[in-house]
A = this chain, B = another copy of it.
Amino acid sequence: MSFLTIDPQPRVLVQGITGHAGLLHSKLCLEYGTNIVAGATPGKGGQYVHTNIPVFNSVAEACRETAPTVSLILVPAPFATDAIYEAIDAKIPLIVCITEGIPVQDMLRIKSVLKGTQTRLIGPNCPGILAPHRYKIGIMPGAIFKPGSVGLVSRSGTLMFEAAWQLSTLGYGQSMAIGIGGDPINGTSYQDVLRYFNEDPATEGIVLIGEIGGISEEQAADYIRQSVRKPVVAFIAGQTLPSNQRMGHAGAIIEGNKGTAAHKIETLKAAGVYIAPTITDIGETYAQAIQNIK
């Protein structure tokens, strides 16, 4: 992902650009300033959308003709797994998959295939990534983001928007906002993003938005404790809900008492993370954290 730092304006391919979501969001991304170089939809090759964006039948053709460095996937769920494999096969360095509803066993296989490649997948079921006033590769409302030095990462889309809005309102712009997605298995973990923010010279502090279920916040806490030397603020949603119980006894055996909001908050605190107690305190908590180190 480090190429995001050095590439000020990635070349973006939109898979599914001719669909409803594809047309809408590629237009919004263009308006935000994103350099969309091509679209791909099977059977629609030869068309142009948004005046001059060429559409290709396949990702391979789009790559040959336009050399994209990022693929934004906006295809419906039943076709998204294939779209991801197509982008991996074309050796696109970064895939941002917005699509919600990819079967979890597909994601297991995708993860296992990604291991042997140079491709990074962000998502699925995520709002995408945004570098304020530079580019938006996703579906977030661009207006709430401002340029600055906060690295923002979230599983939830709307909570990422909420956090960005609070930060921007208080004058804390963002270096980059990355939605990793809410699915049980996703391409990029908190830890991957934290590593990027930790090394990114444009990032001074980090805001991590989590929620109950799974143990990815606990894994993030481990990494923060060991490696992150920038202030981190976290908010965990679902504090008054029972932990996700979908996996029944078997899940409980695997995850134990991890996965509850209390356990996540405790682990993050122990790793030196500032905790925003409620949803309305995210901006304020960051303000305090960043004052502390100055």
Contacts and interface: CB of A to CB of B under 8 A. Distances in A.
Contacts of A116: 112, 115-116
A197 to B, nearest CB: 26
4 contacts: A112-B116, A115-B115, A115-B116, A116-B116
Query: What bracket does the count of chain A residues touching chain B fall in?
Result: under 10
Where chain A touches its partner, the secondary structure class is loop
The oligomer's copy count stands at 2
A112 B112 CA distance: 10
Nearest to A113: B112
A75 B116 CA distance: 30
A116 B115 CA distance: 7
Contacts of A115: 115-116
Interface string A230-244: 000000000000000
Nearest to A115: B116
The 4 closest A-B CB pairs, nearest first, are A115-B116, A116-B116, A115-B115, A112-B116
Interface in A96-134: 112, 115-116
A116 B116 CA distance: 6
A115 B114 CA distance: 12
A116 to B, nearest CB: 5
A116 B111 CA distance: 12
A16 B283 CA distance: 63
